[in-house]
Chain A
Amino acid sequence: MTALLSLSGLTVDIPVAAGTLHALRGVTLDVREGEVFAIVGESGCGKSLTAAAILGLLPDSATLRAERMTWDSQDMTRMSRRQRMAMSGPQISAIFQDPLTALNPILSVGEQMTEGFLAHRLGSRSQARARAAELLEAVGVTPAERRMAQFPHELSGGLRQRVMIAMSLMCHPRLVVADEPTTALDVTTQVEILRLLQDRQKEAGLSLVLITHDLGVVAHIADRVAVMYAGEVVEQGSVAQVVGSPAHPYTRALLDCLPDLGQPERKLTPIPGVVPALTGDLTGCAFRNRCPHAHAACAGGIPWHRADTGQGYRCVLAPTSEEAA
């Protein structure tokens, strides 16, 4: 299958008071047509920044470099601001974390739903309203006509996130980037929203990049997953591979933090230590100061191992490295 979005060696530097923050350090990943691709990691690992880079929403002060950054085989790094703007909506759209703050408080749901559609000249005002109503119905925001006249503060958090989802689909995008779409919601609402996202994704046949810190969510709906740590991808593969037989010690550590209802006796193991600062020059494995298996070789350059199955990871450890090399 060909990659819809392909990132290779993506780095993002942000100037901060203490120097330069190497926020992304060579992120490499491919998102294929029609798949759900999850990016997981702890806070500050760079997953949201990866989303911002894909959406073209990096802060002005950030510098982006990439060996390759292509959308449907077109080089994104050479696109003008206008070309990127034309992509936002009809090609790539976004769902953000907090539906309470992601919608403009003074514009009605209808105005916010239709403005992108109209700005991209995809049809008339009545066509825009019809499309918005149809999508709102589909995500369960009913009655759509009345909801469109309402303002964000008149809707519950769950309803607002449904509006966000419907809004992201207005211009028939091929890729939706969802940055922690359920984190700010009640647990019961989370499941509904995830199911809804998955249904919409399947029905529209679009690709979904799902940014989350929740491996449970990943196991639930993703096809493939990339695990990020300290600004780089440390493991990547199908959900069955990464969750079923994790190769990187960090992935294993993350999985050990998850409670398992089947084994209530099992103790959860927190990961000791803290994420290293990304302002200095980082060499070797960024996880080595927290890794139970760390040894001398971890301070050197860490190659990317790729197994025949497609599962890849960045670690010098032995278990599968012979067959993977």
Chain B
Amino acid sequence: MLSFARDRILLSVCVLLTATFVGFLLLQASGDLAASLAGENASADDIAQLRQQLGLDQPLLLRYWHWLIGALQGDLGTSYFTREPVTGLFAERLGATLTLAIAALVISVVVSLPLGVFAALKPNSWVDGLLSLLALSGQAVPSFWLGLIFISFFGVTLRWLPISGSDTAMHFVLPSVVLAVSAIPALARLVRSGMIEVLSQDYIRTARSKGLPRHRVLMRHALRNALLPVISLTAVQLGALLGGSVIVEAVFAIDGIGQLTFRSIQRGDFPVVQAMLVFVALSYTVLTLVADLMNAWIDPRLRSRK
């Protein structure tokens, strides 16, 4: 298990370095940053001066190297617009996004696990059909629309929950439910199909032949095996949620990472966008690593595979 973890961590570091480098190149290739920052009426001298001021005249590799050294020390540069350190801009907004993402994930998992298991126990029954229908609707409904409906019903009509901002825990209820609704269908389907497949395996028959209680066969023998792909998908979904849910943050006026990124891309605020890229790459890498380790912890075959 230890050597497995070590190999995976080394691999993750390589992935991360590659991702930041490629991202750096792509952003540089997106156009002349100095020219677009200086504005339409700037003279060639102004642009050259700005370019020098921002360090954009140095060779690309050297700039990446400086950026990397800084990043490793926690310095991601300063925003071209607000002149604030990028790390600070992120830190202020990370809490809201993190709360939203984790709440949405917890709701999704808590709902989709029992739903999927239940559907798998009676495949093609009316209960299963109803669940498929609900799952399909959940996937088909756009989150901005669901968000607006929630605001008008729970916020305006019933006045149960606050509809904008991120001051209290209550503020996160509606947006995280909206996010969860879009994440649940895929998870529930994966649990269902995984359980159906596992329940037809020979070892389930063996477990039943031992006279084990039904819930034990389900939880210990079936669900643990069916969970492996679910863990991987959950990691990817959490990664997507952490990347910021631009639409839901906008609908509920939550100033999170999604909003920050959206604004920075519009303004060509290169250091912020690059930091965002690192953050997303880091989230995905760490989450995938955690998912791999969890899967290896559950399934011994993954541990011994070289």
The interface residues of chain B lying within 8 Å CB-to-CB of A167 are 210
Are A87 and B202 CB-contacts (below 8 A) given A107-B221, A154-B304?
A: no
Are A98 and B202 CB-contacts (below 8 A) given A87-B211, A115-B212, A119-B212?
A: yes
Q: Determine, out of A89-97, A279-287, A290-298, the stretch whose residues face the partner at the interface.
A: A89-97
Report whether B301 and A85 are in contact in the complex, using a CB–CB cutoff of 8 Å.
no
How far is A115 from B195 in the complex, measured between Cα atoms in Å?
21
Q: Name B198's closest neighbour in chain A (CB-CB).
A: A104
Closest-CB distance, B121 to chain A (whole angstroms): 10
Are A116 and B224 CB-contacts (below 8 A) given A101-B201, A101-B203, A102-B203?
A: no
Closest-CB distance, B210 to chain A (whole angstroms): 4
Interface string of A73-101 (1 = CB under 8 A from B): 00000000000011111100110101001
Interface string of A115-136 (1 = CB under 8 A from B): 1100110000000000000000
Report whether B300 and A88 are in contact in the complex, using a CB–CB cutoff of 8 Å.
no
Q: Name B300's closest neighbour in chain A (CB-CB).
A: A151
Closest-CB distance, A212 to chain B (whole angstroms): 18
Report whether A94 and B209 are in contact in the complex, using a CB–CB cutoff of 8 Å.
yes
Report whether A96 and B206 are in contact in the complex, using a CB–CB cutoff of 8 Å.
yes
How far is A88 from B213 in the complex, measured between Cα atoms in Å?
11
Q: Name A120's closest neighbour in chain B (CB-CB).
A: B211
Q: Name B301's closest neighbour in chain A (CB-CB).
A: A153
Of B209, B299, B304, which one neighbours A55 at CB under 8 angstroms?
A: B209
How far is A158 from B300 in the complex, measured between Cα atoms in Å?
20
Report whether A57 and B205 are in contact in the complex, using a CB–CB cutoff of 8 Å.
yes
Report whether B205 and A93 are in contact in the complex, using a CB–CB cutoff of 8 Å.
no
Q: Is residue A44 contacting chain B, with contact meaning CB distance below 8 A?
A: no
Report whether B209 and A88 are in contact in the complex, using a CB–CB cutoff of 8 Å.
yes
Instruction: List residues 183-235 of chain B with CB under 8 A from any CB of chain A.
Output: 201-203, 205-213, 216, 220-221, 224-225
Q: Is residue A18 contacting chain B, with contact meaning CB distance below 8 A?
A: no
Q: Is residue B298 contacting chain A, with contact meaning CB distance below 8 A?
A: yes
Of B202, B205, B225, which one neighbours A106 at CB under 8 angstroms?
A: B225
Report whether A88 and B299 are in contact in the complex, using a CB–CB cutoff of 8 Å.
no
Report whether B221 and A93 are in contact in the complex, using a CB–CB cutoff of 8 Å.
no
Instruction: List residues 285-305 of chain B with CB under 8 A from any CB of chain A.
Output: 298-301, 304
Report whether A153 and B209 are in contact in the complex, using a CB–CB cutoff of 8 Å.
no
How far is A103 from B221 in the complex, measured between Cα atoms in Å?
10
The interface residues of chain A lying within 8 Å CB-to-CB of B298 are 106
Q: How many A-B residue pairs have CB under 8 A?
A: 75
Count of A residues near B, CB < 8 Å?
29
The interface residues of chain B lying within 8 Å CB-to-CB of A98 are 202
Report whether A104 and B210 are in contact in the complex, using a CB–CB cutoff of 8 Å.
no
Q: Name B227's closest neighbour in chain A (CB-CB).
A: A106
How far is A102 from B201 in the complex, measured between Cα atoms in Å?
8
Q: Name B207's closest neighbour in chain A (CB-CB).
A: A104
Report whether B203 and A89 are in contact in the complex, using a CB–CB cutoff of 8 Å.
no
Q: Is residue A105 contacting chain B, with contact meaning CB distance below 8 A?
A: yes
How far is A102 from B210 in the complex, measured between Cα atoms in Å?
12
Report whether A88 and B208 are in contact in the complex, using a CB–CB cutoff of 8 Å.
yes
Closest-CB distance, B243 to chain A (whole angstroms): 32
Report whether A85 and B213 are in contact in the complex, using a CB–CB cutoff of 8 Å.
yes
Report whether B210 and A105 are in contact in the complex, using a CB–CB cutoff of 8 Å.
no
The interface residues of chain A lying within 8 Å CB-to-CB of B206 are 94, 96, 102-104, 164
How far is A154 from B210 in the complex, measured between Cα atoms in Å?
23
The interface residues of chain A lying within 8 Å CB-to-CB of B213 are 85, 119
Q: Name A86's closest neighbour in chain B (CB-CB).
A: B211
Report whether B205 and A102 are in contact in the complex, using a CB–CB cutoff of 8 Å.
yes
Q: Name B298's closest neighbour in chain A (CB-CB).
A: A106
Report whether A103 and B203 are in contact in the complex, using a CB–CB cutoff of 8 Å.
yes
Report whether B211 and A104 are in contact in the complex, using a CB–CB cutoff of 8 Å.
no
The interface residues of chain B lying within 8 Å CB-to-CB of A94 are 206, 209
How far is A202 from B223 in the complex, measured between Cα atoms in Å?
38
Report whether B210 and A93 are in contact in the complex, using a CB–CB cutoff of 8 Å.
yes
How far is A257 from B248 in the complex, measured between Cα atoms in Å?
72
How far is A98 from B299 in the complex, measured between Cα atoms in Å?
20
Report whether A105 and B212 are in contact in the complex, using a CB–CB cutoff of 8 Å.
no
The interface residues of chain A lying within 8 Å CB-to-CB of B224 are 106
How far is A89 from B205 in the complex, measured between Cα atoms in Å?
13
The interface residues of chain B lying within 8 Å CB-to-CB of A151 are 300-301
Known: A85-B213, A102-B205, A106-B300. 10 other contacts (CB 8 A): A57-B205, A57-B208, A57-B209, A86-B211, A89-B211, A96-B205, A96-B206, A101-B203, A102-B203, A116-B210
**What 9 A-B pairs are tightest by C-beta distance, nearest first?**
A88-B211, A116-B210, A101-B202, A94-B209, A104-B203, A89-B211, A151-B300, A102-B202, A85-B211
List 9 A-B residue pairs with CB atoms under 8 Å apart, sorted by A's residue number: A89-B210, A93-B210, A104-B207, A104-B221, A106-B299, A115-B220, A119-B210, A154-B304, A167-B210
